Structure formats: C-alpha cells, structure tokens
Amino acid sequence: MVSMGCQMIRISPSTVAGYIAKAVVATAVVTATPTEAHEGRAGGKLMLTNGVSSIEGSSGGGISTWAVIAGNETVDGIGGSAHVSAILLPDYRWESHGAAIGIRDRLELSYARQNLDTRDVGEKLGIGRGYTLNQDVFGAKLRVAGDAIYGSAYLPQIAIGVQYKHNLDPQIVAAVGGRHASGTDIYVAATKLLLRQSILLGTTIRYTKANQNGLLGFGGDRGANRTIQVEGTLGYQISRQLIVGGEYRSKPDNLGFAKENEWKTAYAAYAINKNVTATAAYVDLGSIATAERQRGGFLSLQTAF
C-alpha cells in the first residue's frame, strides 16, 4: 500500500482550530430538535454504535477515529466511556488509557495517555533498555451532519475534530530529529452503519505531521509540514453484539533515521453487555524506530454509560 503524503496548502492550525472551537460552542448550546429526539432516550444507542476507544482516546476503531460520539446517550443526555488498551509487538509494548465524554450525541471531549515501552530497542538507541515514551492526547470532536445509523444510506455521520498531542519526552524527540514535542492533528471523519446489510463503512482525512502518532515528536529532517493522511474501516456486524472487520491508517514519514509505514488491523469487537465492550485485533504496524515487522496483538476493554 502506498502512504498518501500529498502536500496541502498551508493553513494556520490555530486558525482552523479557532473556527472549530467556535462551531463547537455554537452547536453545544442548541437544543435537540423533535426529529432528533425520537431516535432514543437515556442510554438509547444500539450496542456497538458508539464505537470503541481508539488509541488516541476518541471514539472509533482501535487505530482510526470515527465520526461517532462517545457514550451510550443520545441527543437527550450526557454519556461517556473509559478504556484501557495494549498492543503487544515483537520489540515494543504499547499501552493507552483514557476517557471521553459525549454531550447530546453532538460533542465529544476526550483524553488519552499513551505509553510505548522500548524494551531492548531502547538500549540499541542509547536511551536505556525498557525506556518508556509517554504522550498525552486531548481531543474535541463535533458532529456536523448526518447520522451513523438513521436517515439516508447515502449521507453518513460527519464530524470534524482536533487532537492536541503533548509528548512528555522532548529530549528524545530532539535526539531522533523531531522538530517539535507537541502538535495538533485536524481531521474530518465520516461513518455509516448500513443496518440492512450489516456493513460498517468509515473514512477519516487527517492533517498531521506526527511521527509514530506523536511519540517521536512532530516533523523531522525529511518533512516539516503537515500532510494529508487517510484512515479507513470496513466492518461486518455478525450480530447485535459482535462486529468484525479491518482498518487502515496512512502516516507521515518525516524522520530520516527510521522509516515509518502505514498501519493495518483485522479486528473483532464484542459487546459483553450494553456497558462493556472487548476488542481484539491482529495489527501490522510496520517499522517503528528501526525495528522492522512490528506485528502482534491488540487488546482493549471499554466501559460506557
């Protein structure tokens, strides 16, 4: 697969984030319309339709962000979720945990802490065996159009969002050639569950310069500016409680010392009940900081209300 790294016309991230923030505030104070209100009551979402927690804390799949909003509540209330996830790889161990709040199925606010245990690779890189890279991710997502389940099959749920990522190891970022220890991703996501066909479709366009999701900083000697990257998901809902599918995520390749590849997964998510969902996946994360063929297992547990 070829990573999509087309350059985009330069736009000030602060300007875009400002417009999104204004839209969030404006929408959050609008009362739900009668048409929306019939879709459900407290805790009224169908199982699995709020997604699971991504490694960045937003609702979606394991590695991709979807347009759905966290929690089980519909337009009548406030819901939320919390998660813990782990990715077990030949040379690394990746862990994330966090929480998200969904307000009237319109606005999502999320947080995640990411930790990457470098194990033996840390010693080879000169930072010490088992050195753990850490990052905080703060997110905001606004649903702007459509519905993931109801309405026209040709109009997906569409959301815009930002994720501010703050790397807690700036000295490592500088050592590997990263230009910044913090950065902001901007994205547009579209998601649709075709109930009659039991098919889930989703795509996200992300504007980013994050290296390995930000754990190796932002920008580098091979690229300093943000580029457009693509995320996608395709799933089949076997039952109300079980969905299987695959995900894809292209990524920038900004660091000269280590090539960065796209990510791919094959997953199964099972709703144990309305409040607890378990996800397991096979992941192929390619090369990470000189370690090739990082393929392994992804496990996640989410609780939602």
Q: How far apart are CA 60 and CA 69, in angstroms?
A: 9
Q: Is 297 helix (H, G, I), strand (E, B) or coil?
A: strand
Cβ partners under 8 Å of residue 279, min gap 6: 52, 62, 85, 267, 268, 269, 270, 298, 299, 300, 301, 302
pLDDT of residue 126: 85
Q: What is the pLDDT of residue 108?
A: 98
Give me the pLDDT at residue 2, please: 36
Give pLDDT, residue 9.
Answer: 39
- Residue in this structure with the two tokens 């050195």, named with its chain if needed: 131
> CB–CB of 237/198 below 8 Å?
yes
Tens of pLDDT, residue by residue, the chain (305 residues): 433 333 433 445 445 445 444 444 444 433 333 333 334 444 579 899 999 999 999 999 999 999 999 999 999 899 999 999 999 999 999 999 999 999 999 999 999 999 999 999 998 888 889 999 999 999 999 999 999 999 998 999 999 999 999 999 999 999 999 999 999 999 999 999 999 999 999 999 999 999 999 999 999 999 889 999 999 999 999 999 999 999 999 999 999 988 999 999 999 999 999 999 999 999 999 999 989 999 999 999 999 99
Q: What are the C-alpha distances in Å from 176 to residues 33, 59, 259, 291?
A: 51, 31, 12, 14
Contact 158, 189 (CB under 8 A): yes
Could you tell me if 182 and 165 are in contact, meaning their C-beta atoms sit under 8 angstroms apart? yes
Superfamily of domain 13-29+42-304 in the CATH hierarchy? monomeric porin ompg (2.40.160.40)
Question: For residue 200, how many C-alpha atoms fall within 13 Å in the half-sphere facing its CB?
Answer: 27
